Amino acid sequence: MNYRNIINKGSSILKKKSIITAEIDAELLLSKLVNKTREKILLNLDEKLNVEQIKTYNQLIKRRKKKEPISYITGKKFFWKYEFYINNNVLIPRFETEILVEEILKIFKNSNNINILDIGLGSGCILISLLKEQKKWVGTGVEVSLSAIKIAKTNAKIQQVQNRIKFINSDIDNFLIGKYDLIVSNPPYINNIDYNNLDVGVKGYEPKMALNGGIDGLRIIEKVIKKSRLNLKNNGLLAIEIGFGQSIKVKKILKENGFYILKTVKDLQSISRCLIAKKIR
């Protein structure tokens, strides 16, 4: 069987399961199997596969057929300008979160020696992307999951920023170290009802503690804000990602904790996705 045949077969199986990215997924899984870029595969569709490769490919298709995210199967995900190693111990980096990186780089474009705290480090995609863009910045990543910290350390090493990051395995409640110019966070903000209604491809594979924000989705957000008040320098900034319909409530929490709202950033669907706030008291 050649590349063309197996891609068509894999794509057909995935389409029957209503996977809208069936063709691309079939190509990406073959790319992982033969360790070639998708582009090279498409230029060599007549190349043959051996029996063992066909067997392995079918196993990969079976995983995707069960709605396991393609990023977990391939072990990688692009975010901002970089490729990150991931597995199911961390949240899959989302395009929406790139808005956070973009806004921070705009605000601090002429600033050197910025000290960043990333609360809920995960794969490290936010902090590492910022440090890649600004060579004089340093950061600390706080993460309750030791497995996630191991992944973030791997990504920091791949992107060669490991010497500018401190990794701290801690719950947010127990963390109180240092004063920072900037705190970033993409906390879990999905409420219990919405979490229970998530697609199996998300709820069935991604870590619950990285998604579920409690009854109203604000439990961890409120903790991040209160902790940021203690850990930010005067006039320091907090950049936080929020969920649909949370903007008004989160702004209220920020104001109650001594923050001034500098900017509300909307995503491509015009949903208020990020809040940038300054600590004023």
Residue 173: its pLDDT value, please?
86
Task: Using the CB atoms, write b or e for 25-34: b if 16+ within 10 Å.
Answer: bbbbbbbbbb
**Is residue 39 helix, strand or coil?**
helix
Residue-level pLDDT, tens digit, the chain, 281 residues: 999 999 999 999 999 999 999 999 999 999 999 999 999 999 999 999 999 999 999 999 999 999 999 999 999 999 999 999 999 999 999 999 999 999 999 999 988 999 999 999 999 999 999 999 999 999 999 999 999 999 999 999 999 999 999 999 999 888 877 799 999 999 999 999 999 999 999 999 999 999 999 999 999 999 999 999 999 999 999 999 999 999 999 999 999 999 999 999 999 999 999 999 999 98
What is the C-alpha separation between 54 and 2, in angstroms, rounded?
10
What is the C-alpha separation between 203 and 213, in angstroms, rounded?
13
> Of 240, 231, 278, 276, whose CA–CA distance to 258 is shortest?
278
CA distances from 56 to 16, 60, 63, 75, 215 (A): 20, 6, 11, 16, 42
Q: Say which CATH superfamily domain 80-279 falls into.
A: Vaccinia Virus protein VP39 (3.40.50.150)
CA distances from 240 to 20, 97, 231 (A): 31, 10, 15
Task: Compute φ and ψ for 138, nearest 5 degrees.
Answer: -130, 165
Task: Compute φ and ψ for 99, nearest 5 degrees.
Answer: -60, -40
The pTM (predicted TM-score) of the whole model is: 0.94
Residue 74: its pLDDT value, please?
97
Residue 175: its pLDDT value, please?
81
Residue 159: its pLDDT value, please?
98
CA distances from 96 to 34, 186, 244 (A): 31, 10, 12
Task: Compute φ and ψ for 205, nearest 5 degrees.
Answer: -130, -35
Tokens, residue 203 = 């709820």
